[in-house]
Amino acid sequence: MTATLGARRLEDRIALVIGAARGIGKGIAARFVAEGARVMIADTEAAIGEATAAELGGAEVARFIAADISRKEGAELAVAATVDAFGGLDILVQNAGIYPWTLIENIEAEEWDAVLGVNLRGTFLAARAALPVMRARGGGRMIFTSSITGPHVSSPGHGHYAASKAGINGFIKSAAIEFAGYNITVNGVEPGNILTEGVKLHRSPAFIKQMEDAVPLGRLGTPADVAGAVFYFASDDGAYITGTSIVVDGGQLLPEGADFKMTPG
């Protein structure tokens, strides 16, 4: 089943989606706009980000700000631009992340710092920058993109990425406790294998087929699948949920081994 759009359950809400020029973040921004929100897209890819904002409806509903979330100034710029453009901030989504493939024995300290700088430090900086605005407005929603990699599983070459995503889950719990008194909920999503433009561009059809075969539902996820979970946390339906995360993986984590498929009949 797919969600029915048109109810516009985020009418009059203002959202900042970081890492939304393309892929999962773009899917989240598109869902928010479809539900009535006005959205600031923050990213380091200026040309693509501007095009995405125009595609989603232009300045009335979607704008773009170039910002590096790994830097304090970048986080503060993104929040300030959202407030200046739309008059406030109700929903923060920090989706920006980088994931170079390097074995631990070959990871240089600079690469380690770069991955944790965007993925984990960026999560902290985004939350810290948004907090005063949401507190003044009497509440808000913060949603962070984690992953099944780190909190649940991992693979060679992802030591820094896994560490950053596991750290995000820990941060979500602490922030949820600290921000609850301000009526701010803090939650996360943990995507599995999602079929984004990057996967299509950098992975072979054989590799994609191999990934699909590992998913009980028989397909890779889409940005819209992740956006649905993020929307739930951002909407009034998720108002009493904080400090947790939703796994969006088509059942990928469930099998004990490779021989798990059953044919109904």
pLDDT tens digits, 7-58: 799 999 999 999 999 999 999 999 999 999 999 999 999 999 999 999 999 9
Name the β-bridge partners of 101. Answer: none
Is residue 212, in this structure, part of any structural domain at all?
A: yes
Does position 5 have pLDDT exceeding 70, yes or no? no
Is residue 263, in this structure, part of any structural domain at all?
A: no
The reported pLDDT for the residue numbered 3 is 45
Q: How far apart, in whole angstroms, are the C-alpha atoms of residue 90 and residue 184?
A: 9
Q: Which residues are catalytic?
A: 161
**Chain Cα centroid distance, residue 257:** 29
pLDDT tens digits, 118-132: 999 999 999 999 999
Band the pLDDT of 263: cuts 50, 70, 90. Answer: low
The reported pLDDT for the residue numbered 12 is 95
Name residues whose C-beta falls within 8 Å of residue 31's C-beta, 6 or more positions apart in sequence.
224, 227, 228, 230, 231
The reported pLDDT for the residue numbered 2 is 43
Per-residue pLDDT, averaged over 150-154, amounts to 95
Question: Which of 165, 142, 143, 141 has the alpha carbon at shortest distance from 152?
Answer: 165
Does position 1 have pLDDT exceeding 50, yes or no? no
DSSP 8-state code for residue 238: G
The reported pLDDT for the residue numbered 265 is 58
Q: Which residues of 163-202 are buried (b: 16+ CB within 10 A; e: fewer)?
A: bbbbbbbebbeebbeebeebebbbbbbbbbbbbbeeeeee
Is residue 1, in this structure, part of any structural domain at all?
A: no
The reported pLDDT for the residue numbered 257 is 77
Question: How many domains are there within the chain?
Answer: 1
Q: What percent of the chain has pLDDT over 70?
A: 96
The reported pLDDT for the residue numbered 260 is 72
User: Which residue range(s) make up the domain with 74?
Assistant: 14-246
Mean pLDDT of the chain: 94
Is residue 251, in this structure, part of any structural domain at all?
A: no
Does position 179 have pLDDT exceeding 60, yes or no? yes
Q: How far apart, in whole angstroms, are the C-alpha atoms of residue 102 and residue 159?
A: 8
Max CA pair span of the chain: 58
Is residue 217, in this structure, part of any structural domain at all?
A: yes
pLDDT tens digits, 47-98: 999 999 999 999 999 999 999 999 999 999 999 999 999 999 999 999 999 9
CATH of the domain at 241: 3.40.50.720
Is residue 140, in this structure, part of any structural domain at all?
A: yes
Does position 224 have pLDDT exceeding 60, yes or no? yes
